Chains A and B, each alone.
Chain A
Amino acid sequence: MAASSIPLPASEPLGASPWIPVPFRVEERASETADTITITLTPPKGIPSRPFRPGQFNMLYAFGVGEAAISIAGDPDRPETLVHTIRSAGPVSAALSGAAPGSTVGVRGPYGTGWPLASASGKDVVLVAGGLGLPPLRPALYEMLRHRDRYGRIEVIYGARTPKDLVYYRQIQEWRGRSDLRFQTTVDAAGREWYGDVGLVTARVPDLRIDPSHTVAFLCGPEIMMKFTAQALAAKGVPDGSIYVSLERNMKCGVGLCGHCQLGPDFVCRDGPVFRYQDVRRFLSVREL
Chain B
Amino acid sequence: MPTTVSMTVNGKKVSGSIEPRTLLVQFIRETLGLTGTHVGCDTSQCGSCVVHVDGKSVKSCTILAAQAEGSDVLTIEGVAKDGKLHPMQEAFRENHGLQCGFCTPGMVMSALDLVKNNKNPSEQQIRDWLEGNICRCTGYHNIVKAIAAGAKAMA
- Pair from one complex: no
Task: Write the residues of chain B forming the contact surface with A, with a CB cutoff of 8 angstroms.
Answer: none
